[in-house]
A and B are shown apart, each in its own frame.
Chain A
Protein backbone atom coordinates (compact mmCIF):
# COMPACT_ATOMS: atom_id res chain seq x y z
CA UNK A 1 0.00 0.00 0.00
CA UNK A 2 1.40 3.42 -0.90
CA UNK A 3 1.75 6.10 1.76
CA UNK A 4 -0.88 8.29 0.14
CA UNK A 5 -3.36 5.41 0.00
CA UNK A 6 -2.59 4.51 3.61
CA UNK A 7 -3.15 8.14 4.68
CA UNK A 8 -6.42 8.30 2.77
CA UNK A 9 -7.69 5.06 4.32
CA UNK A 10 -6.65 6.13 7.84
CA UNK A 11 -8.32 9.52 7.51
CA UNK A 12 -11.43 7.95 6.03
CA UNK A 13 -11.74 5.49 8.94
CA UNK A 14 -11.20 8.19 11.58
CA UNK A 15 -13.42 10.81 9.95
CA UNK A 16 -16.27 8.38 9.23
CA UNK A 17 -16.20 7.28 12.87
CA UNK A 18 -16.33 10.90 14.01
CA UNK A 19 -19.19 11.73 11.64
CA UNK A 20 -21.05 8.63 12.77
CA UNK A 21 -20.61 9.64 16.41
CA UNK A 22 -21.75 13.22 15.75
CA UNK A 23 -25.00 12.42 13.97
CA UNK A 24 -26.55 9.27 15.39
CA UNK A 25 -29.83 7.94 14.12
CA UNK A 26 -31.01 6.66 17.48
CA UNK A 27 -30.23 7.60 21.05
CA UNK A 28 -31.44 6.57 24.52
CA UNK A 29 -32.63 8.63 27.47
CA UNK A 30 -29.89 8.48 30.10
CA UNK A 31 -31.60 10.39 32.94
CA UNK A 32 -34.57 9.36 35.10
CA UNK A 33 -37.01 11.46 33.12
CA UNK A 34 -36.47 14.17 30.54
CA UNK A 35 -38.94 16.52 28.93
CA UNK A 36 -39.71 16.85 25.25
CA UNK A 37 -40.23 20.50 24.35
CA UNK A 38 -41.72 22.51 21.53
CA UNK A 39 -38.46 24.38 20.87
CA UNK A 40 -34.74 23.82 21.55
CA UNK A 41 -34.70 25.60 24.92
CA UNK A 42 -35.67 24.94 28.51
CA UNK A 43 -38.15 27.74 28.03
CA UNK A 44 -39.94 25.73 25.32
CA UNK A 45 -43.37 24.33 26.11
CA UNK A 46 -43.27 20.82 27.60
CA UNK A 47 -45.00 18.35 25.28
CA UNK A 48 -44.37 15.23 27.34
CA UNK A 49 -41.84 13.26 29.37
CA UNK A 50 -39.74 10.27 28.40
CA UNK A 51 -38.13 7.90 30.87
CA UNK A 52 -34.73 6.31 31.33
CA UNK A 53 -33.85 3.82 28.63
CA UNK A 54 -36.39 5.07 26.06
CA UNK A 55 -35.02 4.83 22.53
CA UNK A 56 -35.64 7.90 20.39
CA UNK A 57 -35.10 8.72 16.73
CA UNK A 58 -32.91 11.77 16.31
CA UNK A 59 -34.06 13.83 13.37
CA UNK A 60 -31.86 16.89 13.77
CA UNK A 61 -29.31 18.39 16.16
CA UNK A 62 -29.05 22.10 16.92
CA UNK A 63 -26.25 23.02 19.31
CA UNK A 64 -27.13 21.24 22.58
CA UNK A 65 -30.56 20.07 21.51
CA UNK A 66 -31.86 17.14 19.51
CA UNK A 67 -35.14 17.13 17.64
CA UNK A 68 -36.46 13.70 18.37
CA UNK A 69 -39.33 11.43 17.51
CA UNK A 70 -40.71 8.77 19.85
CA UNK A 71 -43.03 6.76 17.61
CA UNK A 72 -44.28 4.49 20.41
CA UNK A 73 -45.53 7.52 22.33
CA UNK A 74 -46.51 9.56 19.29
CA UNK A 75 -44.31 12.29 20.67
CA UNK A 76 -42.01 14.65 18.75
CA UNK A 77 -40.04 17.67 19.89
CA UNK A 78 -36.75 18.84 21.36
CA UNK A 79 -34.70 17.25 24.13
CA UNK A 80 -31.40 18.44 25.57
CA UNK A 81 -28.48 16.29 24.46
CA UNK A 82 -27.22 16.00 28.04
CA UNK A 83 -30.21 13.70 28.67
CA UNK A 84 -29.35 11.36 25.79
CA UNK A 85 -26.68 8.79 25.03
CA UNK A 86 -25.77 6.98 21.87
CA UNK A 87 -25.60 3.74 23.82
CA UNK A 88 -28.50 1.38 24.14
CA UNK A 89 -29.66 1.01 27.72
CA UNK A 90 -30.86 -2.30 29.02
CA UNK A 91 -32.73 -1.91 32.24
CA UNK A 92 -32.59 -4.39 35.08
CA UNK A 93 -35.49 -6.76 35.38
CA UNK A 94 -38.18 -5.42 37.62
CA UNK A 95 -37.61 -1.84 36.52
CA UNK A 96 -40.73 -1.94 34.39
CA UNK A 97 -39.11 -0.84 31.19
CA UNK A 98 -36.92 -3.70 30.14
CA UNK A 99 -35.82 -3.55 26.56
CA UNK A 100 -36.32 -7.14 25.58
CA UNK A 101 -34.79 -6.63 22.18
CA UNK A 102 -31.34 -5.94 23.51
CA UNK A 103 -28.88 -8.77 23.27
CA UNK A 104 -25.88 -9.35 25.49
CA UNK A 105 -23.69 -8.12 22.65
CA UNK A 106 -25.14 -4.65 22.83
CA UNK A 107 -23.83 -2.00 25.14
CA UNK A 108 -25.76 -2.16 28.35
CA UNK A 109 -25.45 0.63 30.86
CA UNK A 110 -27.95 -0.44 33.44
CA UNK A 111 -28.05 -3.72 35.28
CA UNK A 112 -24.34 -3.44 35.86
CA UNK A 113 -22.27 -1.81 38.53
CA UNK A 114 -23.91 0.44 41.06
CA UNK A 115 -27.69 0.43 40.92
CA UNK A 116 -30.79 0.33 43.12
CA UNK A 117 -30.05 -3.25 44.12
CA UNK A 118 -26.59 -2.23 45.37
CA UNK A 119 -28.04 0.78 47.19
CA UNK A 120 -30.60 -1.42 48.93
CA UNK A 121 -27.83 -3.76 50.08
CA UNK A 122 -25.62 -0.83 51.11
CA UNK A 123 -28.41 0.60 53.24
CA UNK A 124 -28.75 -2.66 55.15
CA UNK A 125 -26.16 -1.54 57.68
CA UNK A 126 -28.80 0.81 59.03
CA UNK A 127 -26.47 3.65 59.99
CA UNK A 128 -27.31 5.84 57.04
CA UNK A 129 -30.37 8.02 56.86
CA UNK A 130 -31.54 8.51 53.28
CA UNK A 131 -34.56 10.52 54.40
CA UNK A 132 -33.11 13.89 53.45
CA UNK A 133 -31.46 12.47 50.36
CA UNK A 134 -34.88 11.38 49.10
CA UNK A 135 -36.49 14.69 50.06
CA UNK A 136 -33.68 16.62 48.43
CA UNK A 137 -34.21 14.77 45.14
CA UNK A 138 -37.82 15.97 45.11
CA UNK A 139 -36.90 19.66 45.15
CA UNK A 140 -37.45 20.74 41.59
CA UNK A 141 -38.03 24.28 40.45
CA UNK A 142 -40.05 24.56 37.24
CA UNK A 143 -38.45 26.15 34.17
CA UNK A 144 -41.15 28.83 34.41
CA UNK A 145 -40.12 29.66 38.00
CA UNK A 146 -36.46 29.70 37.00
CA UNK A 147 -37.18 31.93 34.01
CA UNK A 148 -39.15 34.33 36.24
CA UNK A 149 -36.34 34.29 38.82
CA UNK A 150 -33.75 35.18 36.19
CA UNK A 151 -35.91 37.89 34.61
CA UNK A 152 -36.73 39.53 37.95
CA UNK A 153 -33.03 39.62 38.77
CA UNK A 154 -32.09 41.22 35.47
CA UNK A 155 -30.32 38.03 34.44
CA UNK A 156 -30.20 36.26 31.12
CA UNK A 157 -32.99 33.72 30.72
CA UNK A 158 -31.48 33.22 27.27
CA UNK A 159 -28.48 31.65 28.99
CA UNK A 160 -30.60 28.61 29.76
CA UNK A 161 -29.58 25.81 27.44
Chain B
Protein backbone atom coordinates (compact mmCIF):
# COMPACT_ATOMS: atom_id res chain seq x y z
CA UNK B 1 0.00 0.00 0.00
CA UNK B 2 1.42 3.42 -0.91
CA UNK B 3 1.88 6.06 1.78
CA UNK B 4 -0.91 8.19 0.31
CA UNK B 5 -3.34 5.25 0.12
CA UNK B 6 -2.45 4.24 3.66
CA UNK B 7 -3.10 7.74 4.98
CA UNK B 8 -6.39 8.00 3.09
CA UNK B 9 -7.51 4.75 4.67
CA UNK B 10 -6.28 5.69 8.10
CA UNK B 11 -7.69 9.23 8.11
CA UNK B 12 -11.10 8.39 9.54
CA UNK B 13 -9.44 6.50 12.39
CA UNK B 14 -6.97 9.29 13.04
CA UNK B 15 -9.73 11.86 12.97
CA UNK B 16 -11.76 9.79 15.41
CA UNK B 17 -8.71 9.42 17.64
CA UNK B 18 -8.15 13.18 17.60
CA UNK B 19 -11.79 13.89 18.48
CA UNK B 20 -11.81 11.14 21.09
CA UNK B 21 -8.63 12.43 22.68
CA UNK B 22 -9.95 15.97 22.79
CA UNK B 23 -13.14 14.85 24.47
CA UNK B 24 -11.79 12.42 27.00
CA UNK B 25 -10.92 14.05 30.27
CA UNK B 26 -7.89 11.94 30.99
CA UNK B 27 -4.59 13.35 29.90
CA UNK B 28 -1.32 11.54 29.20
CA UNK B 29 -2.01 8.82 26.71
CA UNK B 30 -5.02 10.52 25.19
CA UNK B 31 -3.28 13.88 24.94
CA UNK B 32 -0.34 12.29 23.14
CA UNK B 33 -2.66 10.28 20.94
CA UNK B 34 -4.52 13.46 19.99
CA UNK B 35 -1.30 15.26 19.05
CA UNK B 36 -0.08 12.27 17.03
CA UNK B 37 -3.41 12.18 15.24
CA UNK B 38 -3.45 15.89 14.42
CA UNK B 39 0.15 15.57 13.25
CA UNK B 40 -0.84 12.80 10.87
CA UNK B 41 -3.84 14.77 9.63
CA UNK B 42 -1.58 17.74 8.95
CA UNK B 43 0.96 15.50 7.21
CA UNK B 44 -1.78 14.16 4.97
CA UNK B 45 -2.75 17.69 3.97
CA UNK B 46 -6.19 17.43 5.57
CA UNK B 47 -5.50 20.31 7.94
CA UNK B 48 -2.92 23.07 7.82
CA UNK B 49 -0.41 24.09 10.50
CA UNK B 50 -2.75 26.71 11.98
CA UNK B 51 -5.61 24.26 12.21
CA UNK B 52 -3.32 21.69 13.80
CA UNK B 53 -2.22 24.24 16.40
CA UNK B 54 -5.82 25.21 17.08
CA UNK B 55 -6.84 21.61 17.65
CA UNK B 56 -3.80 20.89 19.83
CA UNK B 57 -4.38 24.06 21.83
CA UNK B 58 -8.06 23.19 22.12
CA UNK B 59 -7.15 19.77 23.47
CA UNK B 60 -4.67 21.38 25.84
CA UNK B 61 -7.20 24.01 26.91
CA UNK B 62 -9.64 21.28 27.87
CA UNK B 63 -6.90 19.63 29.89
CA UNK B 64 -6.19 22.90 31.68
CA UNK B 65 -9.76 24.06 32.03
CA UNK B 66 -12.20 23.80 34.92
CA UNK B 67 -12.03 20.04 34.71
CA UNK B 68 -8.56 20.11 36.20
CA UNK B 69 -9.82 21.90 39.27
CA UNK B 70 -9.80 19.24 41.92
CA UNK B 71 -12.69 18.72 44.32
CA UNK B 72 -10.49 20.16 47.07
CA UNK B 73 -9.84 23.32 45.09
CA UNK B 74 -13.52 23.51 44.14
CA UNK B 75 -14.30 23.40 47.86
CA UNK B 76 -12.04 26.34 48.70
CA UNK B 77 -13.37 28.35 45.76
CA UNK B 78 -16.96 27.65 46.83
CA UNK B 79 -16.26 28.71 50.41
CA UNK B 80 -14.80 32.01 49.23
CA UNK B 81 -17.70 32.64 46.83
CA UNK B 82 -20.18 31.99 49.64
CA UNK B 83 -18.28 34.21 52.08
CA UNK B 84 -18.28 36.95 49.46
CA UNK B 85 -22.03 36.68 48.82
CA UNK B 86 -22.79 36.58 52.54
CA UNK B 87 -20.66 39.66 53.13
CA UNK B 88 -23.59 41.74 51.83
CA UNK B 89 -26.46 39.50 52.90
CA UNK B 90 -27.89 38.17 56.14
CA UNK B 91 -28.61 34.52 56.83
CA UNK B 92 -32.22 33.72 57.74
CA UNK B 93 -31.26 31.81 60.86
CA UNK B 94 -34.39 29.82 61.66
CA UNK B 95 -33.66 26.23 62.70
CA UNK B 96 -36.83 24.70 61.20
CA UNK B 97 -36.12 26.33 57.83
CA UNK B 98 -32.46 25.29 57.80
CA UNK B 99 -33.29 21.70 58.78
CA UNK B 100 -35.99 21.40 56.15
CA UNK B 101 -33.86 22.82 53.36
CA UNK B 102 -30.98 20.52 54.24
CA UNK B 103 -33.12 17.38 54.54
CA UNK B 104 -34.74 18.11 51.20
CA UNK B 105 -31.62 19.38 49.44
CA UNK B 106 -29.32 16.65 50.69
CA UNK B 107 -31.92 14.03 49.68
CA UNK B 108 -31.82 15.40 46.15
CA UNK B 109 -28.03 15.54 46.16
CA UNK B 110 -27.68 11.94 47.34
CA UNK B 111 -29.93 10.85 44.48
CA UNK B 112 -27.89 12.83 41.96
CA UNK B 113 -25.05 11.69 39.75
CA UNK B 114 -22.58 13.40 42.07
CA UNK B 115 -23.73 12.59 45.57
CA UNK B 116 -20.40 13.41 47.21
CA UNK B 117 -18.38 16.58 46.83
CA UNK B 118 -15.30 17.42 48.87
CA UNK B 119 -17.23 19.17 51.63
CA UNK B 120 -20.79 18.04 50.82
CA UNK B 121 -24.00 19.88 49.98
CA UNK B 122 -25.30 22.40 52.49
CA UNK B 123 -28.21 24.83 52.29
CA UNK B 124 -29.11 28.11 53.98
CA UNK B 125 -31.90 30.62 53.54
CA UNK B 126 -30.99 34.27 53.06
CA UNK B 127 -33.06 36.97 54.72
CA UNK B 128 -33.97 38.90 51.60
CA UNK B 129 -37.12 39.70 49.63
CA UNK B 130 -35.24 39.50 46.35
CA UNK B 131 -35.90 36.42 44.23
CA UNK B 132 -32.46 34.90 44.15
CA UNK B 133 -30.31 31.83 44.80
CA UNK B 134 -26.58 31.19 44.68
CA UNK B 135 -25.03 27.78 44.13
CA UNK B 136 -21.34 27.99 44.93
CA UNK B 137 -18.93 25.37 43.58
CA UNK B 138 -18.72 22.29 45.76
CA UNK B 139 -22.27 22.50 47.08
CA UNK B 140 -22.81 25.53 49.31
CA UNK B 141 -26.27 26.74 48.27
CA UNK B 142 -28.04 29.92 49.37
CA UNK B 143 -31.72 30.59 48.65
CA UNK B 144 -33.49 33.83 49.48
CA UNK B 145 -36.78 34.00 51.35
CA UNK B 146 -38.15 35.81 48.29
CA UNK B 147 -37.45 32.79 46.09
CA UNK B 148 -38.81 30.33 48.65
CA UNK B 149 -42.06 32.34 48.63
CA UNK B 150 -42.44 31.41 44.95
CA UNK B 151 -42.91 27.78 46.02
CA UNK B 152 -46.44 26.77 46.96
CA UNK B 153 -45.69 23.28 48.21
CA UNK B 154 -42.84 20.86 48.93
CA UNK B 155 -42.53 19.70 45.33
CA UNK B 156 -41.91 23.28 44.27
CA UNK B 157 -39.31 23.85 47.00
CA UNK B 158 -37.66 20.65 45.74
CA UNK B 159 -37.72 22.13 42.23
CA UNK B 160 -35.85 25.24 43.42
CA UNK B 161 -33.22 23.20 45.24
CA UNK B 162 -32.89 20.66 42.40
CA UNK B 163 -32.11 23.50 39.99
CA UNK B 164 -29.38 24.81 42.32
CA UNK B 165 -27.95 21.32 42.98
CA UNK B 166 -27.80 20.91 39.20
CA UNK B 167 -25.58 23.99 38.89
CA UNK B 168 -23.18 22.30 41.33
CA UNK B 169 -23.36 18.92 39.56
CA UNK B 170 -22.62 20.46 36.21
CA UNK B 171 -19.89 22.66 37.72
CA UNK B 172 -21.37 25.73 36.10
CA UNK B 173 -19.67 28.01 38.63
CA UNK B 174 -16.21 26.71 37.81
CA UNK B 175 -16.88 27.19 34.11
CA UNK B 176 -17.32 30.91 34.81
CA UNK B 177 -13.64 31.24 35.72
CA UNK B 178 -11.59 32.73 32.92
CA UNK B 179 -9.38 30.11 31.38
CA UNK B 180 -6.08 32.00 31.56
CA UNK B 181 -6.38 32.12 35.33
CA UNK B 182 -6.75 28.35 35.53
CA UNK B 183 -3.69 27.70 33.45
CA UNK B 184 -1.63 29.72 35.88
CA UNK B 185 -3.37 28.38 38.95
CA UNK B 186 -3.30 24.69 38.28
CA UNK B 187 0.14 24.32 36.76
CA UNK B 188 1.82 27.48 37.94
CA UNK B 189 2.94 26.31 41.34
CA UNK B 190 5.76 24.09 40.16
CA UNK B 191 6.41 20.44 39.69
CA UNK B 192 7.04 19.33 43.24
CA UNK B 193 4.31 17.02 44.41
CA UNK B 194 3.55 18.48 47.78
CA UNK B 195 4.87 21.74 48.99
CA UNK B 196 4.27 24.80 51.06
CA UNK B 197 4.30 27.87 48.87
CA UNK B 198 6.97 30.52 49.22
CA UNK B 199 5.86 34.12 49.88
CA UNK B 200 5.96 35.19 46.22
CA UNK B 201 4.11 32.13 44.92
CA UNK B 202 1.61 32.41 47.74
CA UNK B 203 0.91 36.01 46.78
CA UNK B 204 0.55 35.12 43.10
CA UNK B 205 -1.71 32.15 43.71
CA UNK B 206 -3.85 34.12 46.15
CA UNK B 207 -4.30 36.84 43.54
CA UNK B 208 -5.41 34.21 40.99
CA UNK B 209 -7.70 32.69 43.60
CA UNK B 210 -9.24 36.08 44.36
CA UNK B 211 -9.80 36.79 40.66
CA UNK B 212 -11.32 33.33 40.11
CA UNK B 213 -13.69 33.84 43.03
CA UNK B 214 -14.51 37.25 41.56
CA UNK B 215 -15.34 35.70 38.17
CA UNK B 216 -17.84 33.32 39.75
CA UNK B 217 -19.37 35.78 42.22
CA UNK B 218 -19.82 38.36 39.50
CA UNK B 219 -21.53 35.76 37.30
CA UNK B 220 -23.85 34.64 40.11
CA UNK B 221 -24.72 38.14 41.27
CA UNK B 222 -24.53 40.32 38.17
CA UNK B 223 -24.22 38.78 34.74
CA UNK B 224 -25.85 35.38 35.24
CA UNK B 225 -25.11 32.21 33.31
CA UNK B 226 -25.98 31.82 29.66
CA UNK B 227 -29.54 30.84 28.79
CA UNK B 228 -28.36 27.40 27.70
CA UNK B 229 -26.65 26.89 31.06
CA UNK B 230 -29.88 27.72 32.89
CA UNK B 231 -31.86 25.43 30.58
CA UNK B 232 -29.37 22.66 31.31
CA UNK B 233 -29.85 23.18 35.06
CA UNK B 234 -33.63 23.05 34.55
CA UNK B 235 -33.41 19.84 32.51
CA UNK B 236 -31.16 18.21 35.11
CA UNK B 237 -33.48 19.37 37.89
CA UNK B 238 -36.46 17.80 36.16
CA UNK B 239 -34.64 14.46 35.95
CA UNK B 240 -33.65 14.68 39.60
CA UNK B 241 -37.20 15.47 40.72
CA UNK B 242 -38.54 12.55 38.75
CA UNK B 243 -35.88 10.22 40.13
CA UNK B 244 -36.78 11.01 43.74
CA UNK B 245 -40.53 10.94 43.13
CA UNK B 246 -41.47 14.62 43.11
CA UNK B 247 -43.58 16.05 40.31
CA UNK B 248 -41.12 17.39 37.69
CA UNK B 249 -43.83 19.84 36.59
CA UNK B 250 -43.45 21.54 39.97
CA UNK B 251 -40.59 23.51 38.42
CA UNK B 252 -42.96 25.02 35.85
CA UNK B 253 -45.53 25.80 38.52
CA UNK B 254 -42.92 27.57 40.64
CA UNK B 255 -41.68 29.52 37.60
CA UNK B 256 -45.24 30.73 36.88
CA UNK B 257 -45.46 32.17 40.39
CA UNK B 258 -42.00 33.67 39.93
CA UNK B 259 -43.08 35.28 36.67
CA UNK B 260 -45.84 37.10 38.52
CA UNK B 261 -43.50 38.29 41.27
CA UNK B 262 -40.39 39.32 39.34
CA UNK B 263 -40.09 43.03 38.82
CA UNK B 264 -38.60 44.19 35.52
CA UNK B 265 -35.18 45.71 36.11
CA UNK B 266 -34.91 43.97 39.48
CA UNK B 267 -31.47 43.19 40.83
CA UNK B 268 -32.22 39.45 41.16
CA UNK B 269 -33.36 36.62 38.85
CA UNK B 270 -34.90 39.33 36.64
CA UNK B 271 -31.31 40.27 35.83
CA UNK B 272 -29.47 36.94 35.94
CA UNK B 273 -31.95 34.40 34.57
CA UNK B 274 -33.90 33.93 31.36
CA UNK B 275 -37.55 34.97 31.47
CA UNK B 276 -39.53 32.29 33.31
CA UNK B 277 -41.78 31.93 30.21
CA UNK B 278 -38.78 30.87 28.15
CA UNK B 279 -37.72 28.38 30.78
CA UNK B 280 -41.24 26.97 31.00
CA UNK B 281 -41.34 26.52 27.23
CA UNK B 282 -38.09 24.54 27.33
CA UNK B 283 -39.23 22.41 30.27
CA UNK B 284 -42.47 21.70 28.39
CA UNK B 285 -40.38 20.21 25.61
CA UNK B 286 -38.44 18.08 28.12
CA UNK B 287 -41.65 16.83 29.66
CA UNK B 288 -43.64 16.26 26.47
CA UNK B 289 -45.81 13.22 27.04
CA UNK B 290 -44.70 12.82 30.63
CA UNK B 291 -47.43 11.96 33.13
CA UNK B 292 -46.99 13.45 36.59
CA UNK B 293 -46.96 11.05 39.53
CA UNK B 294 -50.21 10.81 41.50
CA UNK B 295 -49.34 10.47 45.15
CA UNK B 296 -52.03 9.40 47.59
CA UNK B 297 -53.92 11.97 49.63
CA UNK B 298 -52.08 10.78 52.74
CA UNK B 299 -48.69 11.33 51.10
CA UNK B 300 -49.66 14.78 49.88
CA UNK B 301 -50.93 15.64 53.35
CA UNK B 302 -47.64 14.51 54.92
CA UNK B 303 -45.61 16.67 52.53
CA UNK B 304 -47.96 19.61 53.03
CA UNK B 305 -47.73 19.35 56.78
CA UNK B 306 -43.95 19.46 56.96
CA UNK B 307 -43.76 22.13 54.25
CA UNK B 308 -46.06 24.37 56.29
CA UNK B 309 -44.29 23.55 59.55
CA UNK B 310 -41.00 24.70 58.06
CA UNK B 311 -41.92 27.48 55.65
CA UNK B 312 -45.28 28.96 56.62
CA UNK B 313 -43.49 31.99 58.04
CA UNK B 314 -41.07 32.41 55.18
Chain A residue nearest to B212 in the complex (CB): A114
Classify chain B's interface size.
Answer: 35 or more
A83 contacts B243, C-beta separation under 8 Å:
no
- Residues from chain A with a CB closer than 8 A to the CB of B106 are 140-141, 146
B116 contacts A139, C-beta separation under 8 Å:
no
Among the listed stretches B51-59, B120-128, B226-234, which one makes contact with chain A, having 4 or more residues with CB under 8 Å of it?
A: B120-128
Contact partner of B70 (CB less than 8 A), chosen from A93, A104, A109, is A109
- Whole-angstrom distance between the Cβ of B1 and the nearest chain A Cβ: 6
B73 contacts A149, C-beta separation under 8 Å:
no
- Residues from chain B with a CB closer than 8 A to the CB of A17 are 26, 29-30
Show 20 A/B contacts (Cβ-Cβ < 8 Å), sorted by A: A1-B6, A3-B1, A10-B13, A32-B75, A34-B116, A52-B118, A64-B113, A115-B73, A115-B76, A118-B205, A122-B209, A122-B213, A127-B87, A128-B87, A129-B83, A139-B102, A150-B244, A153-B245, A155-B246, A161-B110
Using CB atoms and an 8 Å cutoff, list the residues of chain A in contact with chain B. 1-3, 6-7, 10, 13-14, 17, 21, 30-32, 34, 42, 52, 64, 80, 82-83, 90-94, 98, 102-104, 106, 108-119, 121-122, 127-130, 132-133, 136-137, 139-141, 143, 145-146, 149-150, 152-156, 159-161
Q: Which of A42, A52, A94, A111 has the most CB of B within 10 A?
A: A111
B107 contacts A118, C-beta separation under 8 Å:
no
- Whole-angstrom distance between the Cβ of A97 and the nearest chain B Cβ: 11
Chain A residue nearest to B98 in the complex (CB): A139
Known: A114-B73, A156-B244. 20 other contacts (CB 8 A): A42-B110, A42-B115, A104-B191, A108-B193, A108-B194, A110-B194, A117-B202, A133-B86, A136-B140, A137-B120, A137-B140, A139-B122, A141-B103, A141-B106, A146-B103, A146-B106, A150-B244, A154-B300, A161-B110, A161-B115
- Residues from chain A with a CB closer than 8 A to the CB of B110 are 42, 143, 146, 160-161
- Whole-angstrom distance between the Cβ of B237 and the nearest chain A Cβ: 14
Contact partner of A103 (CB less than 8 A), chosen from B33, B73, B193, is B193
A92 contacts B196, C-beta separation under 8 Å:
yes
- Residues from chain B with a CB closer than 8 A to the CB of A112 are 186, 189
CA distance A21 to B194 in the complex (A): 25
B interface: dominant SS:
helix
B73 contacts A113, C-beta separation under 8 Å:
yes
CA distance A104 to B191 in the complex (A): 7
Contact partner of A133 (CB less than 8 A), chosen from B83, B103, B243, is B83
- Residues from chain A with a CB closer than 8 A to the CB of B300 are 154
- Residues from chain B with a CB closer than 8 A to the CB of A128 are 80, 83-84, 87
CA distance A155 to B300 in the complex (A): 11
A133 contacts B82, C-beta separation under 8 Å:
yes
